[in-house]
Chain A
Amino acid sequence: GAVVSQHPSWVICKSGTSVKIECRSLDFQATTMFWYRQFPKQSLMLMATSNEGSKATYEQGVEKDKFLINHASLTLSTLTVTSAHPEDSSFYICSARSDYEQYFGPGTRLTVT
């Protein structure tokens, strides 16, 4: 099946700094990519939907100025957590859609100290 990669797989950063997470579709072109966040022992909550070349659509309650999403090409989307705080510590999972199939990345574990 199609492969979606995320980089890094885990990251530790200091409070107040920004961190960028990359999501790549390795063997297909993804017109739409999704970013999810999962806190410990909770479900995956959709943060935003991004389409290549256009602005991301954020879910209610997600701060678009804090979670910057760039879908620069059909194979790459990035999520930047700006001015990270400990409460942003979470597991971030991206998903890429090709036609009617959706594939999930392995996730990025962010810890903000």
Chain B
Amino acid sequence: AQKVTQAQTEISVVEKEDVTLDCVYETRDTTYYLFWYKQPPSGELVFLIRRNSFDEQNEISGRYSWNFQKSTSSFNFTITASQVVDSAVYFCALSGYSSASKIIFGSGTRLSIRP
């Protein structure tokens, strides 16, 4: 069975601080995808990244970076120099590799950035 665990329910930091959101996953598949989504108060999911299980290279996109460690089944997300606009709920997710695979979500981490 597939499972995604986001142990941090809520995080609150002051603006400009760096913050890391943890994600640990379980799967029996040898190939899979990992995702991060942002859900602002409007509710619409915003896609942030998809990572193929073959590729363990870390990814950086502006203030966002992702650390994929297959050995520990983790896919952590770091926001550098956080801003108030980063306040949202962030979901880590997992899916199989086939075109029919469904995306399974973690419980989410509510991030609040205080001015």
Chain A interface (Cβ < 8 Å from any Cβ of B): 1, 31-32, 34, 38, 41-46, 49, 51, 91, 93, 95, 97, 99-100, 102-104, 106-107, 109
Contact = CB atoms under 8 A, between A and B. Distances in A.
B45 A42 contact: no
B102 A106 contact: no
A107 B42 CA distance: 9
A34 B103 contact: yes
Contacts of B42: 106
Contact of B43 (A1, A42, A46, A109): A109
Contacts of A51: 100
Contacts of B87: none
Given A43-B108, A100-B99, A107 B91 contact: no
Contacts of A106: 42-44
Given A42-B108, A103-B47, 15 more contacts: A32-B100, A42-B107, A43-B107, A43-B108, A44-B91, A46-B104, A49-B102, A91-B43, A95-B103, A97-B100, A102-B95, A102-B103, A106-B43, A106-B44, A109-B43
B40 to A, nearest CB: 11
A51 B37 CA distance: 24
Interface residues of B, number: 18
A34 B102 contact: yes
B99 A99 contact: yes
Interface of B is mostly: loop
A93 B105 CA distance: 13
A93 B33 CA distance: 20
B68 to A, nearest CB: 18
Ranked nearest first, the 3 interchain pairs of A and B with the lowest CB-CB distance are A106-B44, A104-B45, A44-B105
Contacts of B47: 1, 103-104
B99 A43 contact: no
B103 A93 contact: no
A107 B102 contact: no
B77 to A, nearest CB: 16
A4 to B, nearest CB: 10
